Structure 1
Amino acid sequence: MKHPPRWAQKLLEVFGHPDTLEEVQGDLLELYDYWVETVGVRKANWRYTLNALKLLRPLAKRKPISDYSSPFSLSPNMIRNYVKIAWRNLVLHKAFTAINIIGLAVGLATCLLIVLFVTHELSYDRYNAKADRIFRMTTHGLVSGKEINTAYSGVPAGPTLVHDYSGVEAATRFEQEGTYIVKHDHDSFKEEHVVFADSNFFDVFSIPLLKGNLRTALTEPNTIVLTETMAKKYFGEQDPMGQTLTLGTRGLVRVTGVCQDVPSNTHFHYDMFVSMRSIELRNTWLSSGVYTYIVLRPGYSIDYLTAKVPELVKKHVGTEIQGLFGISLAEFYRRGDGFGFVFQPITDIHLHSDLESEIEANSDVKYIYIFSIIAAFILLVACINFMNLSTAGSAGRAKEVGIRKVLGSIQQQLIWQFLSESILVTFMALVVAIALVALVLPGFNQISGKDFDFSALLTGWMLPSIVLASLLIGLLAGSYPAFFLAAFKPVSVLKGQIRAGFRSGWLRNTLVTTQFVVSIGMIIGTLVVYRQLHFIQNKKVGFDKDQVLILHDSYTLGPKGKAFRDELAKLSQVVNATQAGYLPAGASNSANDGFQTENGPDQSTIYREKTYYVDENYLPTLGIGLAQGRNFSKAFPSDSAAILINESAAKRFGWKNSIGKRLWSVGNGSPESHRLYTIVGVVKDFHFESMHQRIAPLVMFYGADNYQMALRIRTTDMPGLLKTLEQKWKAQTDTPFAYSFLNERFNRMYQSEQRVGQLFGIFAGLTVIISCLGLFGLAMFTAQQRTKEIGVRKVLGASVTSVVALLSKDFLKLVVVAIVIASPLAWYAMSRWLQDFAYKIDIEWWVFVLAAFIAIGIALITVSFQSIKAALMNPVTSLRSE
């Protein structure tokens, strides 16, 4: 190796040790060559090189690194220096800093919203002090091939468990009976959240009483406890204690307590608690029961109580089965039937229970998993953006790293420097994310059906967790760029050998592909969800849900209800009217009854089926067609002993021609309750339950249920009709006039799916936006890196189109690979989601093609902006750029 004599002696003077010459001269020569290449021979000066290498003096004296400072020690001055340099670098590259901050901010904001949603869902019923010891007792069985899964249990169940098993500390029950018109003075209000509860209700559930005695408030009949909101609604600033309200037809009830409002994160939401002693209950195990909750003593296992269920059934339920079916419990089991109880932890009800007669529509734990995965994916995409942009910009910072190392910086210090930039960007993004959450939270509440408060993010454990999570995200997102940049060798950097490796990094390609796998999967999921919802809303449901107006609370008309129905039917805008307590959509009455075929009441096979009570106008008003026979009619007095069944019931009974066949109604099981009915018509199957279930057998009795009234209308003057109806209503009753439309009630049955579809679409859009931000930044970097190449190609005759194609094709290849990977994954995930519907769409091939075109189109638009800008640049400017 050539040794320039002019600087050799000077080098020895700088380092002071002859044996250091061989160790440093190689790096020194490479550094000098770099100066010559970049600034020219005339400007190159060994003095600058030697001054730079003075910082290596400690290494030349062979002192260990630990004698100076640990590379991982972070003094305040060092931290201040790291942050200052990081800020300068971020300001220097404003465009890429903005892209990183916006991408991370959107990802963090989305995660914060999902965290609010998930933590709220997981918190249900955990406000109870005894939450880990409270269980709901539910009934399960199999009768004549039909499953029974109900949230109810028999009326005697709770007291019996307390009496028979010492491990059961307490049991409480409540019964909800629907809507009540509550009056005070001259004011009347419709209240839907009224419940009849045992006297120890407030001892089991941690809902504090603000006024009244916890243990005696509900001990006497006709007493009521109001929530704080209800007390203010009816009595204002007056003391409600001892005052009275009129509770529908049940008469006066006396206020004996005021409790706090029921928390939002519970599976029941009642406003009025009436003493259970105010109503009469059938003290049987097999009749329609009540909601029963038990409290176990500390240390008592629910598994032990579950093991005692067969003994409980044999002791208390066996005699009732004998009376109802005419066979012993052992014979009941031998023929394949079953009966028993299950104890649900109260904290599992909201997310893990979907039984018949649930108090409210519960959520599903699968949506917790779905949204949690979406949050992780969106955050992953945002972090990938940061890593991509940081590594893609490494070429521009390679020289910086090389010079820093030559000047004495060690790898660990460089790692801290780049990590400080990553953490700074993350915390800047966090500030923007919190502002975004405050901005969009009202809209998110509306879509999700929740009532989240922004202060929840800034109180308790949430704020420290958010800051800690942001720190970890900054470290993780910046870890690879930091280690990647800090590992550059000064010799390779200063020779310019690093630049060639940036055009096709396998890691960057993998990260971009991962981004678009997530984005395309979300697009496919959104398309499937919306198609399923469209299918539900437009599928022939067996009845005409349009132009049907429902008048609520018509039961308050009492004996005048039928005459009022006939009066409304005479209006020119009303096609037909029916007293419709039972409706195929939304809240309505429901009932089940046992039936036997006409072979005789002593037959042991009993079919437990849904039953409706309808008048002769029910079918034409709702547009339900007949498959066989006729409708009920006033012209046939014998129709009091006639019934209609649906096609599913005919199949269940095994009849091809059901007209004239007869069924015994079992009633309560006693011989005198049996009654024989003749089938006069078979109605076409219609969806009287959600499409999550198959159409079940249905039996219709002839009799008006006046719970509500349905009108088929035909008018272009809806406000005028409503005004007329309200006037006629107020002439009959002082109950508030309330109405709804059948199609709206039908759509509300799928409100949960609609919310999921909306959220899915929003999250898919955000994922695509974040991916496009990263792709935009990468395209910008690529265009800058290949500026000279583009200029040379244009000088040699390349067209703008060919240059755009050149810069775009590499990214489009990655999108195509992402489509291939995402399609089967999305198909599997959405197939699992559709399994919850008994009636569902097929996932067709064009969904994947459409998602592919959307992804390719978005990617092409994103990349082409920078590609066209680079292709239109003057080649003279391009060739001068480097």
Structure 2
Amino acid sequence: MLITILRNIVRQARRQPLYLALNVIGLGLGMAVCLVLTLQVRYEYSFNASIPDAANVLRLDAHHMNPGNAPQENADVPFIAFPFLHTDFPQILATTRYETADYQLRAGDRRVTADTAMVDPSFFDVITLKLERGNARTALTRPDAIVLSANTAQALFGTTDVLGRIITTDHEGHRVSQTVTAILARPSGPVTIRPDALTPIPAYEMEKPQFTRWGSSAGDIFIRVHNAVDRGVISQNLTRFVIDHASGDANDDNSEGVHPERHFGLSLVSLRETHFHDLQVIGGDEATDRSVVNILELIGVLALLLAVFNAVNLATARAGLRAREVAIRKTLGATRMVLFVQFVGEAIVNTAVGGALALALCEVALPFTAALTGTTLHMDYGFTLPFLFGVVLLTGLACGLYPALILSSYQPAHVLAATRMPSGGRSAARLRNGLVIIQFAFAVAFAICTLVVNRQANFMQTLDLGFVREGVLISSGDMANDAGKQRALIEALRHTPGVVSTCLSELTPNIDNRHRFDVTPVGSHSGDIHVLGDTIVGDYATTYRPRLLAGRWFDSSHGEDDSPGDDAFYKAPGKTWNVVLNRTALSRLGFVRPESAVGALLKSGSVTLRVIGVTKDMLFISAREDVSPQITFYSTAPQSYPHASVRFSGASENIMRTRLKLAWDQVFPDAPYGFETVQERMSTFYITEQRRGWLFSIASGIAVTIACLGLYGLASFIALRRTHEVGIRKALGATSQKVLTLMLRDFLRPVLVACVLAAVPAWLVAQSWLSGFHQRIAVSWLDFAIVVSVTIAIAALTVLGQTLRLARAEPACALRAE
């Protein structure tokens, strides 16, 4: 049987090479898309799977339900909760705090800026990251210990065999010598926890307010439990935990007030869930939308179905050409079952050839896809080959079953007695048109959604941020909480050639400020509004050029413009300080117009704030996040977490970075350094959508290509069948133009129906996806018009050659051909 199948395939390839090429290419493209997207989806779902027992490693998340703001979830929690967890929950096996910061690491003349996690000695009891060298039980027990990643060790020493070596670390001006006690192995799969270094939490870090205040956001807390039952018990009692430990006096800054459960809560998230879950968490810009990943897999399956429909359509269209072969073989004694198995076998072999093509295409496309999506995709043959074998088998069966049923059902007497080959009648024509409609409906809907994704990504990239982003560089390094050094840095930057202005601020693009507090208008009966605070010093107005809607900006000649720093703010009761609001704060506080807010008084505890100006919202956040009501202070006091910003002119970005480094090193020679543009800092907000749009564009193009391959093959066979009809029409006076119009109308009618059917689902999917953004585009009818016009044009060009050849045929030749 196998030899018969192979012999028939070779014969068909010689007689109708176009059919075989279209069939194999269509199947190869469909299976390649399915395979690549399956590998991408598998990668996204495998985050943290390489960490042993990751499902029972839980992160404690904080929930803030503050007045005037939408509920927010934050992975950064107050570390004051840490010592109470073991006491209240015996189900917990181990706990650790996890706070990241930039450390400057030195070994000899080599220096590396490392994303360093400050953790508890119990870290490896909670998160069992694999070690290349060292002992996990003792790696973090000594206060001067430091664990390096393999890449960091390689960068510092050129080798990973460095246990016991001494390096110098610098963090916020604290320079100490530390001993390398272990080396982290390179992760075997994608992980969300990938520090460059691990070190015990320094004593000076524990003296900071975020370790003693419930209202602070310090870092992550991870716990390990036995199983899901223990997780459920802890989750059910977290509200009681907050009430027991976070309650306090209304004026107590270290607590969450009298009823903390009303505006503060805690929840647990498994380490296996964080990659998807963090999309709804503040600062979770590297997270992935689970629904989009599922859509990718759906697209892979649908691309494969398109190829199947394509193969079925081509097989049923040419079934009549093999009718006499079937009739003769049945006359010679072949049973229907034998013929059925033969035709299904031919379909499976053709599919296997397409599978080989798909594997080759996948090898070529996978590195490109990895670069496009920013992932580390690779060809895992242990998964790929069995998966591809199953796909080939199922696809071959799907492609061959219906055509085999049709072909094996032909009756020899009817076929041999007929002067024309059987065409299947209207039911077969309807089936072919239906398959074309399904193919193009999916392709058109997908193309519309792809266009919306690309437009949203472009919108996010060019969004009006409320300030002038061009010509601004922002520091990424930490600086000491020292007013003298901060003022010295401003002066050093200000006198750098090319610098127009400079300032310090706690809030910069892509920085989550932790300074939040409640305010209420004086004389108002409304409740408190929870606002975001920013403290600035220097020439902020010239550096960022915020758009003032009413009032004035800060002026050093006004004494009340200079307020105390964060820590001293509430130590000055009865004082009045001048502030500037953003537009969102204006509306949340109940002011109708910007002018009406100027001069208004606000209360925050025992402190009075006077509004001197209102600015347009400055968007330092992702388009997915809601804009917070914001109050800006001016203060010459030392800031806790300042970043330097400069506006420059007359020099390139690279030249300015070099000049700014020299100025930075004058004041902070050992602190981590880096200056980035606004676009670079905010690229994480839109790069995912941008990459996704590129990936969708490629997949959409392939989907249209597969549909057009089917349409082209179908048009070639239909044109062959309608040659006699065209000859009669032209003999009766029809012109070539009329025949051309008639043929194009018949070929494009299913495509037009597909475009109509695709409109509603495409609109629903696009609207659902856009609802996840607070700053978003509107779905326009132009999106539909553009895609439909391009699709119809491509479909017309696809069948134009066949149609022209048929329309130009001489009547005598056409009638003789039949």
Pairwise same-fold verdict (TM > 0.5): yes
Residues 740, 804 of structure 2: 8 Å contact kept: yes
Residues 309, 399 of structure 2: 8 Å contact kept: yes
Mark the runs of 5 or more structure 2 residues left unpaired by the alignment: 564-577
Offset at residue 231 of structure 1 (A): 1.4
Residues 535, 632 of structure 2: 8 Å contact kept: yes
| Distance (whole Å) between structure 2 residues aligned to residue 746 and residue 853 of structure 1 | 35
Does residue 550 of structure 1 match 2:474? yes
Residues 56, 227 of structure 2: 8 Å contact kept: yes
Residues 388, 778 of structure 1: 8 Å contact kept: yes
Offset at residue 734 of structure 1 (A): 6.4
| Distance (whole Å) between structure 1 residues aligned to residue 16 and residue 466 of structure 2 | 63
Secondary structure of 1:531's match? Answer: helix
User: Which position in structure 2 is the counterpart of 1:363?
Assistant: 288
- Within a 5 Å distance, the mapping from 1:577-588 to structure 2 comes to 577-583=502-508, 585-586=509-510, 588=511
User: Which position in structure 2 is the counterpart of 1:84?
Assistant: 7
Deviates further, 96-105 or 316-325 = 316-325
Identity over the aligned pairs, expressed in percent?
29
| Distance (whole Å) between structure 2 residues aligned to residue 751 and residue 476 of structure 1 | 38
> Of residues 769, 780, 793 in structure 1, which corresponds to 2:716?
780
| Distance (whole Å) between structure 2 residues aligned to residue 223 and residue 716 of structure 1 | 44
- Aligned partner letter, 1:549: L
Residues 325, 605 of structure 1: 8 Å contact kept: no
User: Which position in structure 2 is the counterpart of 1:789?
Assistant: 725
Superposed CA deviations along residues 578-630 of structure 1, whole A, max 9, x for unmatched, are 234522x33x3522322334769xx9965432121212411221121222222
Superposed CA deviations along residues 620-647 of structure 1, whole A, max 9, x for unmatched, are 2112122222212222233222322212
Secondary structure of 1:251's match? Answer: strand
- Aligned partner letter, 1:515: Q
- Aligned partner letter, 2:206: E
| Distance (whole Å) between structure 2 residues aligned to residue 152 and residue 599 of structure 1 | 32
| Distance (whole Å) between structure 1 residues aligned to residue 234 and residue 657 of structure 2 | 56
Residues 326, 604 of structure 1: 8 Å contact kept: no
Residues 213, 255 of structure 2: 8 Å contact kept: no
> Of residues 679, 686, 692 in structure 2, which corresponds to 1:743?
679
Offset at residue 384 of structure 1 (A): 0.7
- Deviating above 6 A after TM superposition, structure 1's stretches of 4 or more consecutive aligned residues are 325-328, 734-737
TM-score by length of 2: 0.89
Does residue 154 of structure 1 match 2:86? no
Deviates further, 152-161 or 826-835 = 152-161
- Within a 5 Å distance, the mapping from 1:636-715 to structure 2 comes to 636-641=558-563, 642-655=578-591, 657-665=596-604, 675-703=607-635, 707-715=642-650
| Distance (whole Å) between structure 2 residues aligned to residue 728 and residue 128 of structure 1 | 43
Mark the runs of 5 or more structure 1 residues left unpaired by the alignment: 1-77, 667-673
Change (3 A) 1:568 1:176: closer
Change (3 A) 1:477 1:592: farther
Does residue 307 of structure 1 match 2:240? no
- Aligned partner letter, 2:240: E
| Distance (whole Å) between structure 2 residues aligned to residue 639 and residue 550 of structure 1 | 24
- Aligned partner letter, 1:170: A
Does residue 319 of structure 1 match 2:248? yes
- Within a 5 Å distance, the mapping from 1:153-172 to structure 2 comes to 153-172=77-96
| Distance (whole Å) between structure 1 residues aligned to residue 750 and residue 126 of structure 2 | 59
CA RMSD of aligned residues (A): 2.9
| Distance (whole Å) between structure 1 residues aligned to residue 284 and residue 182 of structure 2 | 23
- Aligned partner letter, 1:189: V
Change (3 A) 1:430 1:508: same
Change (3 A) 1:568 1:214: closer
Does residue 467 of structure 1 match 2:392? no
> Of residues 524, 528, 532 in structure 1, which corresponds to 2:456?
532
Offset at residue 183 of structure 1 (A): 2.1
> Of residues 285, 297, 314 in structure 1, which corresponds to 2:226?
297
How many residues are matched? 785
| Distance (whole Å) between structure 2 residues aligned to residue 547 and residue 524 of structure 1 | 36
User: Which position in structure 2 is the counterpart of 1:73?
Assistant: none
Offset at residue 823 of structure 1 (A): 0.6
| Distance (whole Å) between structure 2 residues aligned to residue 870 and residue 231 of structure 1 | 71
User: Which position in structure 1 is the counterpart of 2:367?
Assistant: 442
Offset at residue 862 of structure 1 (A): 0.5
> Of residues 98, 113, 124 in structure 1, which corresponds to 2:47?
124
Residues 595, 663 of structure 1: 8 Å contact kept: no
Secondary structure of 2:533's match? Answer: strand
Residues 503, 537 of structure 2: 8 Å contact kept: yes
Does residue 174 of structure 1 match 2:98? yes
- Within a 5 Å distance, the mapping from 1:186-265 to structure 2 comes to 186-191=109-114, 193-237=115-159, 239-248=161-170, 249-252=173-176, 253-265=178-190
| Distance (whole Å) between structure 2 residues aligned to residue 325 and residue 166 of structure 1 | 26
| Distance (whole Å) between structure 1 residues aligned to residue 691 and residue 794 of structure 2 | 26
Deviates further, 714-723 or 343-352 = 714-723
- Aligned partner letter, 1:222: D
| Distance (whole Å) between structure 1 residues aligned to residue 755 and residue 331 of structure 2 | 45
Does residue 401 of structure 1 match 2:326? yes
Residues 246, 257 of structure 2: 8 Å contact kept: no
User: Which position in structure 2 is the counterpart of 1:451?
Assistant: 376
- Aligned partner letter, 2:618: F
- Aligned partner letter, 2:431: L
Residues 496, 663 of structure 2: 8 Å contact kept: no
> Of residues 706, 715, 719 in structure 2, which corresponds to 1:770?
706
> Of residues 331, 349, 356 in structure 2, which corresponds to 1:424?
349
Residues 402, 489 of structure 1: 8 Å contact kept: yes
Offset at residue 288 of structure 1 (A): 2.2
Offset at residue 784 of structure 1 (A): 1.7
Does residue 343 of structure 1 match 2:268? yes
| Distance (whole Å) between structure 2 residues aligned to residue 299 and residue 841 of structure 1 | 41
Residues 215, 255 of structure 2: 8 Å contact kept: no
Superposed CA deviations along residues 400-453 of structure 1, whole A, max 9, x for unmatched, are 111111111111111111111111111111111111111122221111111112
> Of residues 254, 277, 280 in structure 1, which corresponds to 2:206?
280
Residues 214, 254 of structure 2: 8 Å contact kept: no
User: Which position in structure 2 is the counterpart of 1:50?
Assistant: none
- Aligned partner letter, 2:362: V
- Aligned partner letter, 2:536: V
TM-score by length of 1: 0.83
Offset at residue 175 of structure 1 (A): 1.1
User: Which position in structure 2 is the counterpart of 1:858?
Assistant: 794
- Aligned partner letter, 2:515: N
| Distance (whole Å) between structure 1 residues aligned to residue 664 and residue 776 of structure 2 | 41
Offset at residue 795 of structure 1 (A): 4.6
Offset at residue 651 of structure 1 (A): 2.5
